[in-house]
Chains A and B, each alone.
Chain A
Amino acid sequence: MNAMWAIVRRDLLMVMRRKSEVLTALFFFVIVSSLFPLGIGPEPALLRKIAPGVLWVGALLATMLGLQRMFAADHADGTLEQMAISPTPLVWLVVGKVAAHWLVSGLPLVLMAPVLGIQFDLDTGALGVLMLALLLGTPLLSLIGAIGAALTLGVRGGGVLLSLLVLPLYVPALIFGAGAVESHISGLGAGGHLSLLAALLIMAALFAPWAATAALRIALE
């Protein structure tokens, strides 16, 4: 456990030394979401309708940006091998890495989303649901993404390959995340979607670190 927190602290510290990485993902999210009204037109009714989907797709792509770096630097300088042979189980360290990735590229999106939601003319209730859905959904994205990041470690054309592997697996998160906001707006209540999203998160939290660990061991062989 202690080792896990140490990894989280270390990754956050390294990000703090190079702040551009956090800001890149965040600015990407802001810019992509702001482009849609320009492309589609400023009618508030239309914007309200597309807002959940656009913001969620933006969040998916923004999390993808940081994924490749999750293990790459540690793999390049040999730190990852030291982690693999350390007495702490590798899976805890992977959980730490995933947590750090979420804190760096997931949490800022959750906090930024309401501001972007206002651009899309969402009301307060919908903004709350959007934040809640992103709060449940972005850790899910980090967890699933960790598997892809570990698999494509040191592989030719890793970035494109990573998106090919991971984006299809993001489909359920996108559907339930955007669906929660949509059904709230249409008055159906977001409870069902949020529960399913939470269930997916729990399942991914149980399985994804193991799969990512197995993938890392294969990459390190």
Chain B
Amino acid sequence: MSNRLINWFRFASPHTFYPLAGKMIPWFWTLAAVFGAAGLWLSFFVAPTDATQGEGYRIIFIHVPTSWMSMFIYMVMAGWAAMGLSLNARLSSMMAQALAPTGALMAFLSLWTGAFWGKPMWGTWWVWDARLTSELILFFLYLGFMSLQASIDDPRRADKAGAIVALVGVINVPIIYFSVKWWNTLHQGASVSINKSPSMAATMLWGMLLMALCLWMYSIAIALTRVRAIILEREAHTEWVKHLKEVSP
């Protein structure tokens, strides 16, 4: 047991994690490509045309997984940030920093595809639906996290300040979601709801799950690539970085 623990903690150092991440990245890219190909094939060629929504519904195969990922990445990011804050582990904070842009991208894609889906289905690009609104606020939280980190020069201070923002955000995400939900039900202008969708065909569900796995693998691959860049940037003064093949001239 203790042996395993030591092995795990060994990779908490940027020096040991950098080559490990380098080895893992191609695997995650491959998995992302496989899941993506299978998911796209299933969702565009196999899944039946929806009776009420026509072909346009296929956008949910991108939309739903990006929404899931945007929320999930925020949780993971906050988890890494908390670990970085409490254990004072540099690599954890770097992971949080590396995840933020991907999370923001997912939130943006989710909003964008949602607008494209809403136009033919609801006849409008945007409704003040509870989910849309809270997704928008989640996007703002990502932007706040990234701009706070970007505007602090000292990386360690940026890590810690960012961690506090991420943690405060994590407490607030459910509050914001429920407040927006109640607000929406009280106003109830356009009575649209994503909940009332008819029971989904099994192939649709599989398509969605495969796309979610694809985005998951993509997020891991891209976050690892980014964390490698962050490691190089921050550890540029160390000996091991200077001796790396890709750095030395």
* 10 interchain residue pairs of minimum CB distance: A172-B179, A168-B140, A175-B183, A165-B144, A218-B160, A175-B179, A156-B151, A164-B144, A168-B137, A151-B161
Contacts of A219 in B (CB 8 A): 157, 161
| Residues B140 and A179 in contact, CB atoms below 8 Å apart | no
Q: Is B203 an interface residue (CB 8 A)?
A: no
Q: Which residue on chain A has the smallest CB distance to residue B133?
A: A171
Interface readout for B144-158 with A: 1 if CB under 8 Å, 0 if not?
A: 100110011100110
| Residues A218 and B180 in contact, CB atoms below 8 Å apart | no
| Residues B165 and A165 in contact, CB atoms below 8 Å apart | yes
Supply 13 further A-B pairs (C-beta < 8 A) apart from A165-B144, A172-B172: A151-B161, A164-B143, A164-B147, A165-B165, A167-B140, A171-B137, A171-B176, A175-B179, A175-B183, A176-B179, A183-B186, A211-B164, A218-B157
Interface readout for B32-58 with A: 1 if CB under 8 Å, 0 if not?
A: 000000000000000000000000000
Q: Is B182 an interface residue (CB 8 A)?
A: yes
Contacts of B147 in A (CB 8 A): 161, 164
Contacts of B175 in A (CB 8 A): 172, 200
8 Å CB contact of B180 from A155, A165, A175: A175
Q: Is A51 an interface residue (CB 8 A)?
A: no
| Residues A211 and B168 in contact, CB atoms below 8 Å apart | yes
From known contacts A215-B164, A218-B160, A221-B157, infer whether A155 and B151 are also in contact, taking CB-CB under 8 Å.
yes
Q: Is B141 an interface residue (CB 8 A)?
A: yes
Those of A142-164 within 8 Å (CB) of chain B: 147, 151-152, 155-158, 161, 164
CA distance A167 to B136 in the complex (A): 13
8 Å CB contact of B164 from A169, A176, A182, A218: A218
Number of A residues with CB within 8 Å of any CB on chain B: 29
Write the nearest CB–CB distance from B174 to chain A, whole angstroms: 10
Q: Is A207 an interface residue (CB 8 A)?
A: yes
| Residues B183 and A179 in contact, CB atoms below 8 Å apart | yes
Interface readout for A41-60 with B: 1 if CB under 8 Å, 0 if not?
A: 00000000000000000000
Q: Which residue on chain B has the smallest CB distance to residue A182?
A: B186
Contacts of B144 in A (CB 8 A): 161, 164-165, 168
What are 13 A-B contacts defined by CB distance under 8 Å?
A: A151-B161, A164-B143, A164-B144, A165-B144, A168-B176, A169-B169, A171-B137, A175-B183, A182-B186, A183-B186, A218-B157, A219-B157, A221-B156
Write the nearest CB–CB distance from A220 to chain B, whole angstroms: 10
Q: How many A-B residue pairs have CB under 8 A?
A: 71
Q: Is B87 an interface residue (CB 8 A)?
A: no
Contacts of B183 in A (CB 8 A): 175, 179
| Residues A152 and B148 in contact, CB atoms below 8 Å apart | yes
Interface centre among B144, B151, B167, B176 (most CB of A within 10 A): B144
Contacts of A155 in B (CB 8 A): 148, 151-152
Contacts of B201 in A (CB 8 A): none
Q: Is A3 an interface residue (CB 8 A)?
A: no
| Residues B141 and A168 in contact, CB atoms below 8 Å apart | yes
CA distance A219 to B233 in the complex (A): 23
Contacts of A161 in B (CB 8 A): 144, 147-148, 151
CA distance A172 to B186 in the complex (A): 14
8 Å CB contact of A164 from B140, B182, B186: B140
Write the nearest CB–CB distance from A122 to chain B, whole angstroms: 19
Q: Is A15 an interface residue (CB 8 A)?
A: no
CA distance A207 to B170 in the complex (A): 13
Write the nearest CB–CB distance from B84 to chain A, whole angstroms: 12
| Residues B161 and A215 in contact, CB atoms below 8 Å apart | yes
Q: Is B171 an interface residue (CB 8 A)?
A: yes
